[in-house]
Amino acid sequence: MKRALVFFSLLLCFGIMLIAVVNMPPMGDPKSMMMTGPPGRAPIPRYLSEGRQEAGAENIITDIILNYRGYDTNGEVTVIFTALMAVLAVLNRERKNVSYCDIETSPVKRSVVVYTIVRIMLPFILLFSLYVILFGEVGPGGGFQGGTIIAAAAIIFILIFGYSQGMERFPTTWRMNFEGIAPLTFIAMGIIGLFLGRNYLTFMFPGFSHASNLLLARSMLMIIEIGIGAGGAFIFTSIFFAMQREDKS
């Protein structure tokens, strides 16, 4: 009975959505409403043709997420910060000197091959993540992706070298200061516009030549990318720590 009900409702859901997607504009059409838009008010042609000149980055997606729709990304970094705080509300923060870990007490011996390979690979992973962060303006990538890769490297390090080493390298009190850095960088860069007589999150100011304005915008975008990267890395590492070394008080 219950199975039939579930099956029927899923079928209904599928059918309704099918009607919707079949009636959507055909896929891959370069002349669709989305691409051309209403004359004079279409965002896409403007982004594609002017984005490099007025927003400051070759990668148009970076232009959109950090400049045109920067407020959304401001919300987005707040979401990851909220996620960390939510995890800390459910689980407590890990505590120093509380031995509660699986790998250090695990009966499986640590393999020399894994140990060595990780040791060799880690600097390269970090280098790659720095590349992803810093070249987010001219190629694919950006702060969040790079930050996640840094966090992944940190997680690998903790998994292979054990938690006590991880705690030594990334102590809680030190991590705590940097967890909110992503929204804070965003807000700091956004506020600058307010002082120079423009709106929040403006990167182009009056009284400068176009070239210097572009340089200014690029460097501000770069700072934001680094901030998001650092924030993302710290937040994911902290979530991992909180989930692994949960403190049973």
Quick note: the x/- pattern for another protein over 192-221, rule CB under 8 A, is -xxx-xxxxxxxx-----------------
Instruction: Return the number of the residue (72 or 168) whose C-beta is nearest another protein.
Output: 72
- Long-range CB contacts (within 8 A, 24+) of 214-222: 214/53, 214/56, 217/55, 217/56, 217/67, 218/56, 218/57, 218/137, 220/189, 220/192, 221/56, 221/57, 221/62, 221/66, 221/67, 221/137, 222/134, 222/137
Is residue 171 within the footprint of another protein (CB under 8 A)?
no
Q: Which stretch binds another protein (CB under 8 A): 114-122, 161-169, 181-189, 208-216?
A: 181-189
Is residue 127 within the footprint of another protein (CB under 8 A)?
no
Rounded to a whole number of angstroms, the minimum distance from the CB of residue 176 to another protein is: 5
Contact 129, 149 (CB under 8 A): yes
CB-based contacts of 179, cutoff 8 Å, min separation 6 = 81, 84, 231, 234, 235, 238
Is residue 170 within the footprint of another protein (CB under 8 A)?
no
Site residues (CB under 8 A) for another protein, limited to 43-82: 43-44, 46-49, 52, 58-61, 64-65, 67-76, 78-82
Is residue 140 within the footprint of another protein (CB under 8 A)?
yes
Q: Work out whether the CA dihedral 231, 236, 241, 243 comes out positive or negative.
A: positive
Rounded to a whole number of angstroms, the minimum distance from the CB of residue 36 to another protein is: 8
Is residue 10 within the footprint of another protein (CB under 8 A)?
yes
